[in-house]
Structure 1
Amino acid sequence: MTDADRSDSLMSPIQPEQLDPGAVIAQSLDNQWVPAQLTRDMIESGRSLDQVDRRRVREVRAEYFRSLINASQVVINRAYFYNNDAINRDLMEEDEARAAHRRLLASGAIVPFLLGERHPAEEPPAHLHVRRQGFTAWQETLAGMSASDRVRCVRMSWDDSQGDKENRERARIRLFQPFTEKVQGLTAKDIDVLAAQVGVAREDTDRFGARLGEVVGFSNGLSVSRQPVVRNTLYEEFVSVPGTNVAEGRYDRAKPFAAEIKQLLDLIYNVNLADALGRYPLTPVGSLRRVVLQEAREARAATVGVVQDPEQLLTFLRRQSFAAVQDHLTPAAVNDLSLHDIWRLRQTPVWNAYIQAFGALTAAPEAFHDGVGRVFDCYVRLNSEILKLARERRQARPSAWRPVVEVVVTVGAAVFTAVSGNELWQVAGSVLPLTVSGSLTGSVQLVLRNRMAGRQEQRFAREIATVRLASEREWAQFHDLVRRLPGYQDTAGPAATGTASATTQDNEDLPEY
């Protein structure tokens, strides 16, 4: 049996619509993803990705595990299985880690995304960067799967009647073209809102807008000359140190607004695969969210509820009551667990109840008051189960825990946050005046976390509704309702942090994305 035959026999090709409704695409697995604070440190100190690799890989692995804990299914770009050290370390071990990875593949918990390949074990094109040891481990992992196992692989199209032409066209239309359009539409946004949400000081807004004009002009020039508009090319011009390979991750503090432009490019880059597959991008807590793009997003209305009524929007911020917390400890580091532990966790009734509760809430956000308490209770029980697994490993360090639900409502440049749980409730607003063309779109995000926060702890954040108010009058009505909530406080202007994100890999038949 040839490698191709073997791969075909173990693979179940699926279309995007066959993914689980709760499937996510984890942003943190992208080769340029860096936590927000670390990004700022890198630009200030001139350090590269390799120079912060140890800290970064630890962060990525924690986000990788969180995605497997908090979502029924995770879609991962095939290249990341062998090029991302946070993932391939499990494949290189001959013990329970590789066995756990095989089980997660066979169960459909992990779904490889194939851009131009037709099977998961296919040799990458020679011109692409490949960690050879990781790729060998990936092939061995697939080759060692049981004859009855099947790996679900998702692709834009599997129709080969025209030599893969349909798949290439869908990739261009759903991935490459939307990236170009979003980049070229940046100056059509409300620049005041955009600047505030990426953290630009108000006095620098005009300079920031002018720099965005340069980004758009450069992108237009590429399009006119029929050159692809891809993130690496824009990085070279506006973000990276001249003469360096973009993959090195050396970001140039001498280039105006390099950090903010990186945030925007990474955000735009991230959302395309999730949109193309009709699923969610999984946003690490504190990372820049797509509400910054000020989109109408009619295409996502089928999977994310749209809130248009000020009274209905207020329900997300009103106080909730939750069950008492019995166990006041949580593992301080999710990635102190093993992949085998994650597999075991996913087999428990507690995990299944949590996934079902969260799925019900995201399917019907209008029933938030009825469903959020159950999600919280399931979240508390899930963390107790994680703690039980963590205690079996000597290196796991339990720490104090105050579990909370945080709801973040964004409308234009205004951000309202309500924190509730464990006998605690706070609500605060960070509001900038609406401009003449003020954006009245936004989102509702649900965050489950430990109030005594540490980056390595279990937490989850996901958008559960889109906000679209019809007029400034409705915005004023909503703002007035929120200000009447007991204990409401106004805070300083909204702060935003950046991230990089995962979408597609390079392929010889498609331009670098």
Structure 2
Amino acid sequence: MSESFTTGEPSTTGDRIIRLDNRHLAPITVAAQCLDNQWVTEDLLTRMVARRQSYADVERRRRSDARAEYLRSILNAEQVVVNRAYFVNNPVVNRDFTSDGRPREAVRALLDEGVLVPFLLGERDPAEEPAFGVDPAGWSGWLRVLGEVDALRCLRLSWDDAENEKLTQRSMIREFENFVLQMKTMNIEELRRDLRLPEDARPVIKQRLLEATRWATDLEHPTRDAFYRHFLTEPDTNPAEGKFRSAPLVAELKQLVDLRYNTTLPDAVDRYALVPADSLRRSALQEYRKERRPELGMSDLLTVLQTLRPYAFDLAQLPLRIDLTGLELHHVREARRTDEWRDYVTSLQALLDEPFDFVDRATEVYRRYVALAGRLAGMVGDRRLEAMAVWQPVIRVTVEVLGSTISLVFDGDPRVELVGDVATEVAGRGATAVVRFAVVGRDQRRAARELGTGVDVMRVHLERAREDWRELLRRLDELGFPFAEGDSGRDDDPNIDRPQGDDGDQ
């Protein structure tokens, strides 16, 4: 059965191209950072910098990580926007259509159904000769699969060329430029916590942010490539090689500028940036996404958390036997065509639409995602049952404000995991906390063999940040939750920005 995600009336050209803008995208549409040719997990990046390794030295691991994230994005979202250049040049994507077989048929079908949506920056046709260099096998495979698609949905910011140019400049290029120009104004303490740096790193962070802003001020157009060359990579090397210099905060600055660079497109089309696992969280940008989400008060949040606890105890499920190491694109497409997948998406959208009904809707997402995981395990094949690992789903609800987090973990042994504290200097200031709901695996180190999904569901306004934070901790203590200090699993828990990924070594 074909899926149709367009709303309104997109225009159709005589050559089978259906012209989409942001009004025609499904509500749960993502753009995946893992397809960026500069993306590498935080853990692997740290080791690369320490060992003076380049992308070539870790290519197998990089490709494996990105592939897991790519497949997961297609499973967990309704639509995935993919820059046309990634179809042509990224082996994580084009490996599915450079040769015949079931993955190639899956690509054709996902394009035809509007699940994979090519993004066209300035070109009007996905078969238009690129201005950039191309992988010959990827380009020929791309042209071939395009010729077999009955109706291809393509996305631009606008199909009027003059307006598209203005929107691209304003919504993408200038947004990145403005971020670099304003780096010196970032809150040092919040950023230090997000980057997980020691307290004595504050002066170095401040100095590096000031240097970045001064550098950007002297340029007419500060690009990411220029930033890499000036601050991150070895002199006279191509940034695409990933040969990073030994200098303070190289890995941290890279993560920060990569995050902003990859959030400009989904922001421009009012959809979700899908930030991979073991990558810097979006909260590090010190802004909140332009989402229309209800904002609750402190009393509402306490009611939600208190009500959730008894329900969460009822969510214990028998462990599922599932191992995604053999997962291919055609398995994901088959899973998307099941009642379990449709039920999961329906429940996730209901949670986004009505976060005030958090308890019932969040638990329904959990139940339906577990059912989808079981269905997918059967598709991967019983022939490898003896090699499959046990996936034990867990609920995690996280409240994050000003670089600090409270995570409620429900896994049969409910507890609170606490990271950081609201700083004294903002004690009397109002702040906005983001509440995330996620279904994760119990064993965070086995991320390559796990499913995970989640979403930012609500904002909570704190009148006096530090007082409200302490009050929240006090009330959770009264509810009987044991507390655990530290960062247990913090950067592995996924949300719609951040699904589970591969944590194995190369």
TM category, shorter: 0.7 to 0.9
Task: Please give the alpha-carbon distance, in whole angstroms, between the structure 2 residues aligned to 1:366 and 1:74.
Answer: 28
Q: CA deviation at 1:433?
A: 4.2
Please name the residue that 1:487 is paired with: 481
Please name the residue that 1:151 is paired with: 152
Match of 1:56 among 40, 55, 62: 62
Q: Which amino acid aligns with 1:205?
A: R
Query: Structure 1 residues 288-297 or 54-63, which shifts more?
Result: 288-297
Please name the residue that 2:457 is paired with: 464
After superposition, what is the alpha-carbon deviation per residue over 1:188-227, rounded to whole angstroms, capped at 9, x for unaligned? 12211111111121011112111111011101111xxx2x
Please name the residue that 1:511 is paired with: none
- What TM-score, normalized to structure 1? 0.87
Q: 1:494–1:412: structure 2 CA closer, same or farther, 3 Å change rule? A: farther
Q: Which amino acid aligns with 1:408?
A: T
Q: Which amino acid aligns with 1:174?
A: S
Task: Please give the alpha-carbon distance, in whole angstroms, between the structure 2 residues aligned to 1:209 and 1:497.
Answer: 24
Task: Please give the alpha-carbon distance, in whole angstroms, between the structure 2 residues aligned to 1:291 and 1:158.
Answer: 32
After superposition, what is the alpha-carbon deviation per residue over 1:54-74, rounded to whole angstroms, capped at 9, x for unaligned? 111111111111111111111
Higher relative contact order (CA 8 A, sep 6+): 1
Please name the residue that 2:32 is paired with: 26
Q: How does 1:76-225 map to 2 (within 5 A)?
A: 76-125=82-131, 128-145=132-149, 149-159=150-160, 164-222=161-219
Please name the residue that 2:367 is paired with: 377
Q: SS at the partner of 2:128?
A: coil
Q: 1:59–1:427: structure 2 CA closer, same or farther, 3 Å change rule? A: same
Q: 1:13–1:282: structure 2 CA closer, same or farther, 3 Å change rule? A: same
Please name the residue that 1:361 is paired with: 351
Q: SS at the partner of 1:445?
A: strand
Query: Structure 1 residues 423-432 or 23-32, which shifts more?
Result: 423-432
Q: How does 1:351-430 map to 2 (within 5 A)?
A: 351-391=341-381, 394=384, 397-421=387-411, 423-430=412-419
Task: Structure 1: give runs of 5+ residues left out of the alignment.
Answer: 1-5, 499-513
After superposition, what is the alpha-carbon deviation per residue over 1:141-174, rounded to whole angstroms, capped at 9, x for unaligned? 11122xxx21111101102xxxx12111100111
Match of 1:280 among 266, 272, 294: 272
Q: Which amino acid aligns with 2:74?
A: L
- What TM-score, normalized to structure 2? 0.88
Q: CA deviation at 1:444?
A: 2.0
Q: 1:495–1:58: structure 2 CA closer, same or farther, 3 Å change rule? A: closer
Match of 1:315 among 281, 304, 307: 304
Aligned-residue identity in percent: 32
2:223 is equivalent to residue 230 of structure 1: yes
Q: CA deviation at 1:324?
A: 4.2
Please name the residue that 1:341 is paired with: 331
Q: 1:50–1:462: structure 2 CA closer, same or farther, 3 Å change rule? A: farther
Q: Which amino acid aligns with 2:167?
A: R
Query: Structure 1 residues 458-467 or 130-139, which shifts more?
Result: 458-467
Match of 1:446 among 432, 437, 453: 437
Q: Which amino acid aligns with 2:440?
A: R
Please name the residue that 2:423 is paired with: 434
Task: Please give the alpha-carbon distance, in whole angstroms, between the structure 2 residues aligned to 1:78 and 1:332.
Answer: 27
Q: 1:86–1:104: structure 2 CA closer, same or farther, 3 Å change rule? A: same
Please name the residue that 2:502 is paired with: none
Does the Cα contact within 8 Å between 2:415 and 2:482 map onto a contact in 1?
yes
Q: Which amino acid aligns with 1:450?
A: G
Q: 1:395–1:120: structure 2 CA closer, same or farther, 3 Å change rule? A: farther
Q: Which amino acid aligns with 2:207?
A: A
Task: Give me the CA root mean square deviation.
Answer: 2.3
After superposition, what is the alpha-carbon deviation per residue over 1:262-295, rounded to whole angstroms, capped at 9, x for unaligned? 1111111121111111011122234222212222
Task: Please give the alpha-carbon distance, in whole angstroms, between the structure 1 residues aligned to 2:46 and 2:223.
Answer: 23
Does the Cα contact within 8 Å between 1:306 and 1:467 map onto a contact in 2?
yes
Q: Which amino acid aligns with 1:10?
A: R
